[in-house]
Amino acid sequence: MGIIKRGNMLDIFVTSRVRRKILVVFAKYPDFKTHVRGLAKLIKEDPGNIQRELERMANGNFLIVTKKGNTKIYQTNKQFPILKELQSIVIKSQKGNKPSKTIG
């Protein structure tokens, strides 16, 4: 039997750090709306990586994209079939973790 590292259980199932941070933000705060640069500043990640992940999540219908001028605004799709389950997983995965200054 190997040693199990203690940490965030979400790390095991969502291996992309950027995707995990984005998932946490939009699952915990379903009314949150943002653009790529705003999210990059919030989660302290590269906007290019964030853009790719946001597009993947939008293509999978987890996020809704609206345009405001030339800017894409992203928000949680509250009709996403497993949103409640994802929210529950995110919340449970963060219990027992030490709070940090950043989201995710």
Domain count, the chain: 1
57, part of any domain = yes
Q: Find the CATH number of the domain harbouring 37.
A: 1.10.10.10
76 beta partners: 63
Rounded to 5°, angle at Cα 57 from 66 and 24: 100
Contact between 23 and 101 under an 8 Å Cβ cutoff? The reply is: no
Considering the entire predicted model, what is its pTM? 0.80
| Angle of the 17-28 helix axis to the 47-59 helix axis, nearest 10 | 60
| Angle of the 36-43 helix axis to the 17-28 helix axis, nearest 10 | 100
Q: Range of 28's domain?
A: 10-94
52, part of any domain = yes
102, part of any domain = no
22, part of any domain = yes
Kindly report, residue by residue over 2-45, the tens digit of the pLDDT: 544 455 677 777 878 999 999 999 999 999 999 999 999 999 99
73, part of any domain = yes
